Each structure stands twice: as structure tokens, then as C-alpha cells.
Amino acid sequence: MKPLSLCLVQMGDKGLEMVSSHPKVLPKEVLNELTYKSMPMGAKAGEFASSSVGDLFYSSYIFSLPREGSRDNICAIIAVFNDMKYNIDGIRKIFSFLIKELETNTLLKLDLIEEILPNLYNGFSKGNIRIKISSVATITIDFENKTEEPIDETNVLEDDLWK
Amino acid sequence: MSFLRNLFKRRTKEVDITICGLASAGKTTIVRYLETGQFVETQPTMGINRGETIKVEKLEINIFDLGGQDDFRVLWPEVNENSNGVVFVVDKHDAMKFEEARLAFQEIVKSQIHEDVIVLILLHKNDIPGGMARSTFIQDFDLIDLSFKWACYETSAKTGENIFEAFRWFFDQLMEESS
């Protein structure tokens, strides 16, 4: 279940904007189209959508991003694939789990998500993800067990370089 | 029974209203206040939110809450031209975007709505001290020369200040217009 690329979209002052993508392999036109298609009209946080852009396929998870001194923003994390042979429900579970864990640890910040995109992408390739999100919190997701909820290993200090 | 229902139906008028304004002006917060009677935290509107239908006396009011970002403003004309009333929300503290708000408003009144449409302008976020004074706003926003039936209130969806009064006036005008 290796995606072609992972992307991050947010609502900017003028409209939806692509914050980041990893790896940067998608043409500009695809990124532009993806920016608007990833968050359909009337989309709300917690919603999940899958569709196509040209010959590519994608799944996006929409979430609310807390902002200090301002209202929450709306964002989407997207996985783009070459074909439809990927586990859509698995993607939904991974994305929703990741966002929930970041929120629980008050680490739901755009720059942090941007920072962990490469790790997340590598994890998709390897079949499991282990992302250290703070000195005491690590998110572990095992893709092989696609039907189960991802494993929450937050606060597990084993193998913790910060110990 | 059906006779009574028909009679009631005839007396109940359905109207569409649109809530416009720049991004983060407080449009959705106002709609949520109307629906729930309290302040509710909101997120940016993705295009158009079709709010709940509010029933006020003999009116059934369909609310179309329009996203304020540049990219969503292309949707405004189509919704506004079928609207019976327009509420334009301005953040009274956002001086940087005042001119942009004025131009967006002028665009609506000049080319997007019919002449019998009721226009309510809300100088919003009045719970925060300071910001533009209502009298200055009316002058600078070119409201004096407006040919529509209009009113301008200073409001807050956090405290509920003037929300009732503003919409009481608005709904009264809509009722009058539709009778």
C-alpha cells in the first residue's frame, strides 16, 4: 500500500492551498486539482473522501486544526496512488488515528504534520509506522493488521532516544 | 384537516436568505447563534453551508451561509440572485480588509441582487472593545446612498448583543415584503 505521494491541504486566506507534499513527484496541475478535490463543498472535519484526479486515485481525511487566538482551521491529509488497488478503509483508519493521537497530545499543528510526512510515507512503504512526536509520545501503526485499529503506543518509552 | 393544512401553507411563506462577508467575519457563528441561541465555535465554510430552516411566525427561512474566501466568491452571484434577503457581515476590527469588504458588498448590491431584496449589514464582533464606529462605517461603506431597504447593527455572536434586534428587523421586513 505504497502511495505515490502524501499531501497536506489547508484553508488559506484566499481559499484552499497545498501546504506540502512528499515526495514532490506530482505535477503542478495535479496538485492544483487535488487541492480543490480533496475537500469537497460542504466538507466538515472528520469526513473522509476518495476519488480520482486524472489517472491517479486519492483518499483524503479532513480534520480541524486548532489555532491560538483564532477559530480552528480546516485541513486535509491526502494519500495519492497510481491505481485503486489500495485499502481505502485502512487509509481512513491510519489518518484518523494519527490526527486523533496528535490532538490527544496537543501536537496537532500544521508544521509538525508537514515534518512527519516523510516518516509517514516511509512507513507506508515498510508496512508500519513509528513516529516520535514528542519526548514522551510515539505513534506506532502496523499496516499489516489492516482490519484492526492501529496500535496506540503513545507514552511507551521503549527505544526512546529522549530517555 | 387537509383544508387547514392548505390554509396554513398558503399563509406560510418560504424565503431564502444569504449570509455573505469576507472570510473570518463571523458569518457561520451568526447562523449557529440563530439556530442554537448560543455562541458556537466554527470552522471555515467550504463553499456553501445550507443551514437549518428557521420558522418565524409566517416565514420559513432557508439560510445559505456562503464561504468568504476569494475562491468561493464566484458562487455568490448565483445564490444571491435567488435570495429574498442578504445579510452582509463585516468584522469591525479588521481595518486592513475594510476596503475589500466594501468592494465585495458593492458588487453584491450592484449586480447580484434584485431591487426588492432586504439588506442587513452587521458590524460584527462588537464584544471586543474598539473597532470602527457605526456612524463612520455607514458613511465609509457608502450605505447612505443605498437604494435598498437596509439597516446596520453592531452585533456580537459571543454575547448575543443586538442579534435578536437585527434579525427581528430583518424578518419583519421579509414578512412585509412577502405579504
CATH value at residue A64: 3.30.450
Quick check: B47 and A72 CB within 8 A? no
Quick check: A14 and B71 CB within 8 A? yes
Residue A151 lies in a domain: no
Nearest CA among B93, B88, B131, B92 for reference residue B106: B88
Residues of chain B with C-beta less than 8 angstroms from the C-beta of A64: 43
Domains of chain B, by residue range, sit at: 13-178
> How confident is the model at residue A158, as a pLDDT?
46
* Cα–Cα dist B55/B121, whole Å: 21
Quick check: B41 and A71 CB within 8 A? yes
Q: Which cell numbers in the block locate residue B115?
A: 431591487
Residue of chain B whose Cα is closest to the Cα of A13: B69
Mean pLDDT of the residues in chain A: 85
pLDDT digits (tens, 9 = 90+) for A62-116: 999 998 878 899 999 999 999 998 999 989 999 999 999 899 888 899 999 999 8
Q: Report the run of H or E that residue B149 belongs to, with start and end.
A: strand B149-154
What pLDDT band is residue A162 in, cutting at 50, 70 and 90?
Answer: very low
User: Domain span at residue A114?
Assistant: 5-142
Quick check: B70 and A64 CB within 8 A? no
Residue A35 lies in a domain: yes
The CATH superfamily of B13-178 is P-loop containing nucleotide triphosphate hydrolases (3.40.50.300)
Quick check: B44 and A74 CB within 8 A? yes
Residue A162 lies in a domain: no
Residue A152 lies in a domain: no
Q: How close A47 comes to chain B (CA, Å)?
A: 13
Residue A15 lies in a domain: yes
Instruction: Give one DSSP letter per residue of B22-45, joined into a string.
Output: STTSSHHHHHHHHHHSS-------
Task: Establish if A14 touches chain B: CB-CB under 8 angstroms.
Answer: yes
Residue stretches of chain B with pLDDT short of 50: none
* Cα–Cα dist B174/A70, whole Å: 34
Interface of B with A (CB under 8 A): 23-24, 41-44, 46-50, 69-72
Interface list for A 35-74 with B (CB within 8 A) = 39-45, 64, 70-74
CB contact at 8 A, B163 and B30: yes
> Checking DSSP bridges between strand B85-91 and strand B118-124, what pairing results, if any?
parallel
> How confident is the model at residue A163, as a pLDDT?
37
> How confident is the model at residue A105, as a pLDDT?
85
pLDDT digits (tens, 9 = 90+) for A15-70: 999 999 999 999 999 999 999 999 988 889 999 999 999 999 999 999 999 988 78
A32, A35, A37, A71: best mutation site toward chain B, by most B Cβ within 10 Å?
A71
Residues of chain B with C-beta less than 8 angstroms from the C-beta of A15: 69-72
What pLDDT band is residue A147 in, cutting at 50, 70 and 90?
Answer: very low
Among all chains, which residue has been given the C-alpha cell 485502512? A90
Tally the domains of chain A. Answer: 1
pLDDT at A125 over 90: no
